[in-house]
Amino acid sequence: MNGSARNTAEAIRAVLADFPHPPRALVQSFGCQLNFCDGEKYKGILADLGYELTEDPEQADVILYNACAVRAHAESRVIGRLGALKPLKERNPRLVIGLCGCMAEEDEVRALLRRSYPYVSLVLGAGAMERLPQALLAAYQGQKHTEEGLGFSGLPDESLPTVRDGAFQASVPVMYGCNNFCTYCIVPYVRGRERSRTPEAIENEVRELVRSGCREILLLGQNVNSYGRGLSEEISFPALLRRLDAIDGDYFIRFMSSHPKDATEELIDTMLASRHIEHHLHLPVQSGSDAVLKAMNRHYTAEKYLSLIDYARSKSADFAFSSDLIVGFPTETDADFQQTLSLIRRVRYDNLYTFIYSPRSGTPAAEMEQVSTEEEISGRMRVLLETQREITERCNQDFIGRETVMLAEKYDAEKGMLTGRTRACRNAAVKGHPELVGQFVRVRITGAKSWALTGEAVREKE
Ligand code: SAM
Ligand code: SF4
């Protein structure tokens, strides 16, 4: 922390010392895992300044919404939630309400806040965590509207404090930003260009997590396969994975997202040769139609995509895949959608995250003419969900009678069930004991539903 940051922190602590009760802060994150990961740093900074963390808006002296810009519907919900905070501000004039995350980067959102939500006094740019104290101090000094860190294009300070949401699962960003400009997506505009953390910084963080008992580490980036480009000593993502895999301990590594144009056979080989990397690849396809993929600016064809899946399956029949899919991209016709259906039947994903296309102002797709009606698009979504439900159920049935290892995440006392995920990232719910939460558990699969494998705990993994 430099001198000016120290002074800012001291000035805030002096304000907080006058509070009649211990100051409390609520940070609520929405959207993707990367936003939740930033949220842990906002919490760390606020805790370091002396706030207790709370989940109750009624108790809070600071409320920070860390919101996502990817889809319009999610944004409207956040605006609605900000609206609901007005009575709290009226009751407690000292309350500071702020918006951060990629939603805060949008000019229209900020104009709307200034116009209709003047009690939202603090706006912080996406990823500009370290500017939070300055913005807070400005609010305490009576500034009605503060905008800090917009267009931030750096890397967060490695020494920022973090309050982790999970005890034995943690996310570790390997890079920030995106260079891909898929025509539907707002991320490159609100998160800036790609920049990678050094392998040393990532390795230190992972080693510390493993040392403190963390069992599952999720590496994050918008396209992890372009990790390392632009570093003074360039390094590929598979090389980073090999370095992390060499850390001794009892843990799994997952990562997301992989852009199919940059995912390679070397990546698959590295995963299969590793001790700690889950045999699961989240490989967002978005569409099964080459014409739509071209209009999306995705730089791969369905055939190229499938060739990587075939390669992985030829090496290990147990390799699991998940994907993101957009329905109703402006140029998508019924014939295009049929190609998407045939691709998902061919891949047999374990899990699919499906989204109805949401036009985002400033992106090229928002200027394209929509060729389908809303009814046609929602009809496609229904068919897609039903098709995937059947596929997941059938994939899960292949596991009946087998044993596998699962990380037990939660215990449901009423049902006596442990829930968690297997090494290939399949959801599982098994009979077991609460003391196994946070442990790798050997499980025998006796049933299969569309939402999970079911069975019983056999014994802890040696
Ligand atoms: N970088 C990741 C990738 O390329 O796979 C994804 C990041 S994005 C936050 C997560 C998913 O949101 C995308 O894979 C896409 O399916 C979906 N998405 C992005 N923009 C969208 C839009 N305008 N409408 C609907 N879904 C969208
Ligand atoms: Fe968006 Fe495409 Fe970048 Fe993913 S790769 S964040 S979908 S622009």
Euclidean distance between CA atoms 210 and 383, whole angstroms: 42
Give yes or no for a contact between 460 and 436, defined as CB atoms under 8 angstroms apart: yes
Share of residues in the chain with pLDDT > 70 (%): 99
pTM of the model: 0.95
Ligand 2 mutation pick, 223, 297, 353, max ligand atoms within 8 A of CB: 223
460 has a pLDDT exceeding 60: no
Pocket residues: Cβ below 6 A from ligand 1: 32, 70-71, 184-185, 187, 222-223, 257, 259, 284, 286, 324, 326, 355, 357-358, 360
Residue of 335, 322, 345 whose CA lies nearest to 289: 335
Find the mean pLDDT for residues 59-64.
97
461 has a pLDDT exceeding 60: no
pLDDT of residue 3: 80
54 has a pLDDT exceeding 60: yes
Query: Does the Cβ of 364 fall within 6 Å of ligand 2?
Result: no
State the distance from the centre of ligand 2 to the C-alpha of 69, rounded, in angstroms: 12
pLDDT of residue 425: 84
Query: Does the Cβ of 223 fall within 6 Å of ligand 2?
Result: yes
pLDDT of residue 275: 96
Euclidean distance between CA atoms 415 and 230, whole angstroms: 51
| Chain segment 383-418, per-residue pLDDT in tens | 999 999 999 988 889 899 999 999 999 999 999 999
Euclidean distance between CA atoms 401 and 383, whole angstroms: 30
Find the mean pLDDT for residues 321-329.
97
Which residues have CB under 8 Å from 87's CB, separation 6+? none
Minimal-distance CA residue to ligand 2 atom 2: 182
Find the mean pLDDT for residues 358-386.
98
Q: Which two tokens stand for residue 2?
A: 């430099």
462 has a pLDDT exceeding 80: no
| Chain segment 68-121, per-residue pLDDT in tens | 999 999 999 999 999 999 999 999 999 999 999 999 999 999 999 999 999 999
253 versus 396: which is more confidently predicted?
253
Euclidean distance between CA atoms 163 and 39, whole angstroms: 9
State the distance from the centre of ligand 2 to the C-alpha of 405, rounded, in angstroms: 32
Query: Does the Cβ of 70 fall within 6 Å of ligand 2?
Result: no
Which residues have CB under 8 Å from 388's CB, separation 6+? 344, 349, 352, 354
Minimal-distance CA residue to ligand 1 atom 20: 185
**Coil, strand or helix at 407:** strand
Q: Which residue has the tokens 């991209």?
A: 329
- Which atom of ligand 2 sits closest to the CA of residue 257? 4
The ranges assigned to domains in the chain are 3-148, 166-278, 287-398, 403-460
Domain spanning 3-148, CATH architecture: 3-Layer(aba) Sandwich (3.40)
Find the mean pLDDT for residues 429-434.
93
State the distance from the centre of ligand 2 to the C-alpha of 391, rounded, in angstroms: 26
Minimal-distance CA residue to ligand 2 atom 4: 222
State the distance from the centre of ligand 2 to the C-alpha of 347, rounded, in angstroms: 22
Q: Where does the pLDDT of residue 459 fall: very low under 50, low under 70, confident under 90, or very high at 90 and above?
A: low
| Chain segment 163-218, per-residue pLDDT in tens | 999 989 999 999 999 999 999 999 999 999 999 999 999 999 999 999 999 999 99
Query: Does the Cβ of 372 fall within 6 Å of ligand 2?
Result: no
423 has a pLDDT exceeding 90: no
Bridge-partner residues for 453, per DSSP?
Answer: 428, 448
Q: What's the CATH number of domain 403-460, 3.30.70.2970, 2.130.10.30, 1.20.140.10, 2.40.50.140?
A: 2.40.50.140
Give yes or no for a contact between 258 and 278, defined as CB atoms under 8 angstroms apart: no
Q: Which residue has the tokens 């409320």?
A: 63
- Which atom of ligand 2 sits closest to the CA of residue 181? 8
pLDDT of residue 213: 94
462 versus 442: which is more confidently predicted?
442
- Which atom of ligand 1 sits closest to the CA of residue 178? 1
- What CATH topology corresponds to 287-398? Transcription Regulator spoIIAA (3.30.750)
Minimal-distance CA residue to ligand 1 atom 6: 222
* Residue 126, φ and ψ in degrees, nearest 5: -60, 125
| Chain segment 276-315, per-residue pLDDT in tens | 999 999 999 999 999 999 999 999 999 999 999 999 999 9
Minimal-distance CA residue to ligand 2 atom 5: 180
Asked if the domains at 3-148 and 287-398 fall in one CATH topology, the answer is no
Query: Does the Cβ of 353 fall within 6 Å of ligand 2?
Result: no
Residue of 10, 190, 177, 170 whose CA lies nearest to 100: 190
Euclidean distance between CA atoms 433 and 227, whole angstroms: 40
Give the CA dihedral 128, 132, 134, 137, nearest 10 degrees. 160
Tell me which CATH code domain 166-278 carries: 3.30.750.210
Euclidean distance between CA atoms 148 and 125, whole angstroms: 6
Q: Where does the pLDDT of residue 449 fall: very low under 50, low under 70, confident under 90, or very high at 90 and above?
A: confident
